[in-house]
Structure 1
Amino acid sequence: MTPVQCRMARAALDWGVLDLAREAGVSTQTIVRLERGEALKQPTLDRIREAFEAAGVEFIAENGGGLGVRIAKRS
């Protein structure tokens, strides 16, 4: 997950920094650092990504069309 994907995922969910921090169990400063491009420990990144995925976000890898995110279809 890149800083841009983090911002895109928050926008897709209409989450602020505080919302993501609460859902991931991290501080708001941690989210700010991630979105600035600062390095975070892998377990912290995993918690943030898991919070997004639990909310229905899918991360799209670089596949010729660029990195991205989307909201998963609910069955």
Structure 2
Amino acid sequence: MLTAEQCRAARGLLDWTQEDLAERAGLSRGTIRDFEKGRHDFHRSTLAQILSALELAGVLFIPADAAGPGVRLRHVPLARE
């Protein structure tokens, strides 16, 4: 569903701190920190809050294949003048 590595990479793409993600996901910074360090398993609802916050900001999650899972930013076309 979501790996710690994907979470860190997504934050990097958005230039978000753990605090930024925690605020947008309605969680504590400690929850984000613990998830990214793999300290324990989380409820699906907690992971869903993290995913939702990142997806709303434009992150796309790439399913795992032979090269592993990934993340990227959604392409937003430039407005024509």
Q: Same fold (TM over 0.5)?
A: yes
Counting matched residue pairs gives 75
- Unpaired segments of 5 or more residues in structure 2? none
Q: Determine what percentage of the aligned residue pairs are the same residue.
A: 44
1:24-63 pair list within 5 angstroms: 24-37=25-38, 38-63=40-65
DSSP 3-state at the match of 1:70: strand
- Unpaired segments of 5 or more residues in structure 1? none
Equivalent position of 1:64 in the other structure: 66
What is the Cα-based RMSD across aligned positions, in Å?
0.8
Bigger CA radius of gyration: 2
Equivalent position of 1:5 in the other structure: 6
Equivalent position of 2:21 in the other structure: 20
Q: Which runs of 4+ in 1 moved over 6 A?
A: none
Deviation at residue 53 of structure 1 after TM alignment? 0.2
Distance in 2, Cα, partners of 1:62 & 1:27: 28
Deviation at residue 56 of structure 1 after TM alignment? 0.2
Structure with the larger helix share: 1
Distance in 2, Cα, partners of 1:35 & 1:42: 15
